[in-house]
Structure 1
């Protein structure tokens, strides 16, 4: 606690209007001031996720959304409402005197855990989480936050407790993030809240009828409720020699560590797949000094997701850094006796390679499930509470969850984390439906592209700003006569506003948007 409880006037009572944010100083401390429903609130000014400047975010009612990765907080108590932040924000006292707003510092902590229940040894109920990714990590905390006091067991094939997986293709791979940054929580945290994380545990069978889980070790675990968040298994190249050395994927902390050491040696790397993970890997390995060639089936990277214009722009960013592209091409075979030495394309081109990184997407890891009907892609279908069947739930990469026009499955960190948090609350008895608009981000050569919504095809694109000429732009994607998604560069508030409007069912018509809608102003309308 701050010993002298510093207090200072920060503004006049009419200086801010509802929905407005301002950063002020109280003594030597920066404070975020927010106004909603005629009331002032004071909070820690940086997001507890990656320290994003919250003053550049957006306030919708009492929901404060971070501009960088769309973590969300309640300004009334600082509680974290949405992933990817794990912790909430400290708050400070506010009072009004003689039309002046005073803030009194009450804490010097940078972040606070949401209130959670302690485990109770007399509660014999057992909840099992299969998987330790974002969904599993947030689910365990959601269970305690929802009041569950029984036993929580997290089973993971990994040798690691939950860690910051998105960083594996970015700063961590580049050697800019130390090992101590990667764990989501300390060992003490999991011990204090009775969350038993069992690493190196391969689940071979889960029978929801018997509520029984079998492990490769031969051990059997029974449960009262279970959550499937087993994530995805990287796709492999068809016909690839399984014994050929020098073929890697980028899915885990171990993968990132291995690639980082190889990348420092100035290797020749061929990346097969022009996916987000593939190009983030290309960016990071290039920064380590490797020579990079990217092979992709698409004629333009991200053309089906972001549109060809933005795809060309992103390709240009990478080419300026020395990354070479071979697009619209298939791999005929990988050459090498025991170890990779070249990749041969379908047009006969030979690309020398010391190692190959596969960026071909993932397939849901569900082969251990018994008596559960799988979707064509291997995922599982849930209801709007992410329930699969009696006592069994699913979240993250494997979950097909209902939306207004069918079902969708999203493979992104924020989605997995928020699904985990919601389903954890539900399993604890809070019964909260999952109704969050998808959001993801990608770092492409130091430029953060934010994407909100979900479009399975692009009928048309409305641009605000020219991606080929402007340093900041917004693209809105039309599918079946509706705005289904949006992507932006340096348009953080607009992306947040679109997401909030989508969530509230208040997206304007396409005609209104074409006429130049001002997103932030629209968001603040009653």
Structure 2
């Protein structure tokens, strides 16, 4: 009888120690092998988010963390544990025979969905999600994963169902990512799981007392539970003629499409704001052939979050590609009649412009809320379960959530996705506190910088590797006598390990860190 499966011996039982990962081959198929507590597991070797090489990630107990964007999976069943991955990983059968470890291939799939409940017409409850960004997308699936079988309605101002917004400033803007890459899920997926995505919907009011949502169309929608995750509204330049034609934001898929068209025409662009999005936009438009000038209030890009040394290094990467900087400068005015023609700086310098891109950050989009107290920045305060009032939850850019020393609000894709997932689970009846250490990544001229933690101010920076000399470094940010954050280039495993230590409250003292960082992986194993 001919076997209808593929199986092969991949290693000896003692070849891997607990916590080790290794990519192996079973006939013509790559497989990731992981050992935890003396037991072997076999999974698909690429992250379901963007095919990051998981063998270069890190295993902490049963948690497998991707090196690129810190998606997290359970090696025992392949389930996705954390954003930004939506899907889990296929697993394969493992058996031990003598001193050999055998892997039997059990699937040809590259990803799997976490188990989700099907909608039940007998359940009359309605949960409403306001927003279709990362938080909204993960929340809808969190509700089904948590066992909710009622009606789910997602209201979004966008013309599209949830899509991969971070790519709007990167490969998609550069014309390297096709449209089909951008959707997070197919229309069939949302139909199968009873998730009613309503596009082009502007929410004008939400009243927690009456549990009613008002729409610009005049429709009123009743809810049993609701999640607000509308994201942020881009900041504009006060007292300047930003209503001129040729002034753009980079917040949506359509913004990216329009900017891509202009960039391909080799136009002159002035980018106002030297933020991560601003410089990712500068990078992408320059790659398209545009002449790019960047204006920023800061004397060094990213000085507040990454420090002056790393900021200057990043600025140098962009200058090498022909991007010009005008830093420590304010905008005096935009010139033009109907269409912008130039940007005049406060020092009298005039920058000709065929178009202008504003990259000035965002503010929480919460003006539709009634009877809900807002924070100074327009956000809303949640409890540890992301609840802000009875049957009302918040996630993503608008949420101030509790941490050990107060509250914080984070505008990162992974944070929004994971908050949405947790909020969705809790709306379905779970009681899962949100306690994830923040993480974000940025692509600056083809170099991915990963950042973990959150520091509101920096008292000192401890470096391992000189950012100005080598192509790899780790920076640890000290605030009030503690390491609050870390950034790294080509130090993926170290960043993951620091994140896991922060999650488990195992971070060592600043003095211990100054003696060297060889402690990272050892502490994680202890």
1:256 is aligned to: 256
Q: Which residue of 2 aligns with 1:82?
A: 82
Q: Is the 8 A contact 2:11 2:100 kept in 1?
A: yes
CA–CA distance in structure 2, aligned partners of residues 397 and 321 of structure 1: 32
- For 1:472, the equivalent position in structure 2 comes to 472
The corresponding residue for 2:420 is: 420
Q: Deviations over 1:461-493 (max 9, x none)?
A: 000000000110000000000000000000000
Contact 1:343-1:351 within 8 A present in 2 as well: yes
> How far apart, CA to CA, are the structure 2 residues paired with 1:151 and 1:3?
45
Q: Which residue of 2 aligns with 1:126?
A: 126
Look up the match of 1:438.
Answer: 438
Question: Hey, what's the Cα distance between the residues in 1 that align with 2:354 and 2:29?
Answer: 51
Aligned 8 A contact 1:249 1:255 in 2: yes
Does the 8 Å CA contact 2:500/2:524 hold for their aligned counterparts?
no
Q: CA deviation at 1:244?
A: 1.0
Please list every run of at least 4 consecutive aligned residues from structure 1 whose deviation after the TM superposition is greater than 6 angstroms.
none
What does residue 195 of structure 2 align with? Answer: 195
Say which SS state the counterpart of residue 368 (structure 1) adopts. coil
Question: Could you list the per-position Cα deviations for residues 108-151 of structure 1 after superposition, in whole angstroms to 9, with x for gaps in the alignment?
Answer: 10000000000000000000000000000000000000000000
Partners of 2:70 and 2:518 in 1: CA distance: 20
Q: Which residue of 2 aligns with 1:213?
A: 213
Q: C-alpha separation between the residues in 2 aligned to 1:518 and 1:12?
A: 29
Question: What does residue range 287-436 of structure 1 map to in structure 2 within 5 Å?
Answer: 287-436=287-436
Query: Could you tell me how far 1:418 is from its partner in structure 2?
Result: 0.3
Mapped partners of 2:371, 2:420: distance in 1: 23
Measured after TM superposition, the shift of residue 3 of structure 1 is 8.0
Counterpart of 2:172 in 1: which secondary structure?
helix
Q: Is the 8 A contact 2:233 2:363 kept in 1?
A: yes
Query: How far 1:520 sits from its partner (Å)?
Result: 4.4
**For 1:236 and 1:242, how far apart are their aligned partners in 2?**
7
1:150 alignment counterpart: 150
> Distance in 2 between the 1:171 and 1:241 partners?
31
Supply the distance in 2 between the matched residues of 1:473 and 1:242 (Cα, whole angstroms). 40
Instruction: State the distance in 1 between where 2:450 and 2:521 align.
Output: 20
Cα offsets for 1:243-302 (capped at 9, x unmatched): 311100000000000000011010000000000000000000000000000000000000
- For 1:172, what is the secondary structure of its paired residue? coil
2-structure distance, mates of 1:243, 1:407: 36
* Alpha-carbon distance, 1:241 to partner: 2.2
Matched-pair contact (CA < 8 Å) for 2:205–2:215? yes
Are 1:213 and 1:221, in contact at CA under 8 Å, matched by a contact in 2? yes
Instruction: Count how many residue pairs are aligned between Structure 1 and Structure 2.
Output: 525
Q: Indicate the residue corresponding to 1:241 in structure 2.
A: 241
Relative to structure 1, is the Cα distance of residues 360 and 3 closer, same or farther in structure 2, using a 3 angstrom cutoff? farther
Which residues of 2 match residues 506-525 of structure 1 at below 5 A?
Answer: 506-525=506-525
Q: Which residue of 2 aligns with 1:494?
A: 494
- State how 1:11-90 maps to structure 2 within 5 Å: 11-90=11-90
Within 2, Cα distance between the matches of 1:243 and 1:13? Answer: 67
SS of the equivalent of 1:128 reads strand
The answer as to whether partners of 2:241 and 2:333 remain within 8 angstroms in 1 is no
Q: Which residue of 2 aligns with 1:182?
A: 182
Query: What per-residue deviation string (whole Å, max 9, x for no partner) do you get for residues 170-218 of structure 1?
Result: 0000000000000000000000000000000000000011100000000
Distance 1:45 1:330 in 2: 48
Report if the CA contact (8 A) 2:494-2:521 is conserved: no
SS at match of 2:197: strand
Gapped regions of structure 1 (runs ≥ 5): none
In structure 2, distance between residues paired with 1:341 and 1:524? 56
> 1:376 Cα shift?
0.5
Q: Where does structure 2 lack aligned partners over 5 or more consecutive residues? A: none
Residues 54-75 of structure 1, C-alpha deviations (whole Å, 9 max, x = no match): 0000000000000000000000
1:524, 1:386 → 2: CA distance? 28
Deviation (angstroms), 1:522: 2.1
Distance 1:108 1:117 in 2: 24
Q: Distance in 2 between matches of 1:92 and 1:22?
A: 14
Once residues 292 and 521 of structure 1 are traced to their aligned partners in structure 2, the CA distance between those partners, rounded to angstroms, is 42
Query: For the Cα contact (< 8 Å) 1:231–1:365, is it kept in 2?
Result: yes
> In structure 2, what is the Cα distance between the partners aligned to 1:3 and 1:438?
47
Contact 1:365 / 1:378 at 8 angstroms: preserved in 2? Answer: yes
Q: Is the 8 Å Cα contact of residues 129 and 153 (structure 1) preserved in structure 2?
A: yes
- CA change 1:519–1:68 in 2 (3 A) is farther
Instruction: Check conservation: 2:275, 2:359, Cα contact below 8 A.
Output: yes
Give me the whole-angstrom Cα distance separating, in 1, the residues matched to 2:79 and 2:35: 17
Tell me how far 1:524 sits from its aligned partner: 3.9
Secondary structure in 1 matching 2:32: strand
Aligned to 2:115: 115
Q: Secondary structure of the residue that 1:341 maps to in structure 2?
A: strand
The reply on whether 1:451 has 2:451 as its aligned counterpart is yes
User: Given that residues 77 and 91 in structure 2 are in contact (C-alpha distance below 8 angstroms), is that contact kept between their aligned partners in structure 1?
Assistant: yes
3-state SS of 1:283 partner: helix
Alpha-carbon distance in 1 for matches of 2:424, 2:310:
37
1:300 & 1:208 partners in 2: Cα distance? 44
Secondary structure of residue in 2 paired with 1:174: coil
Question: Which secondary structure state, in structure 2, belongs to the residue aligned with residue 313 of structure 1?
Answer: helix
Whether the aligned pair in 1 keeps the contact of 2:497 and 2:524 (CA below 8 Å) is: no
Equivalent residue number for residue 277 of structure 1: 277
